[in-house]
Amino acid sequence: MRTCADCTPAFLAFYDAAGHVRTAEQLTIGQRAHASHLRFSQEARRRGTSIFAGLSPYFAYSVLYDADRQSVGLKPRAPAPGGPSAISPDS
């Protein structure tokens, strides 16, 4: 398991099933008020790398769950001063 140093600026990208970036979140690691602790983990029971971003994506997006389609949608929220924010992949 690896963690990022506090106060590190970061981007967390969200991809579609085809591997294209759909949106990204701009955040600063280690801000307790924004629950922006970030860690990476590789586990034998999972294929690939897992990213644990805590609650930080919920500050930048309204997270919409569709159980029937087994999918998640992200709707950008208005940015809060100094907080995580959604950015367009074209930015």
Parallel, antiparallel, or unpaired: how do β-strands 49-52 and 61-66 relate?
unpaired
What are the residue ranges spanned by the domains of the chain?
A: 2-87
Record the pTM: 0.72
Q: How confident is the model at residue 67 (pLDDT cuts 50, 70, 90)?
A: very high
Residue 37: HSE in the Cβ half-sphere, 13 Å Cα cutoff: 5
Write the pLDDT tens digit of every residue in 36-64: 777 767 777 767 666 677 788 888 999 99
d(CA 17, CA 15): 7
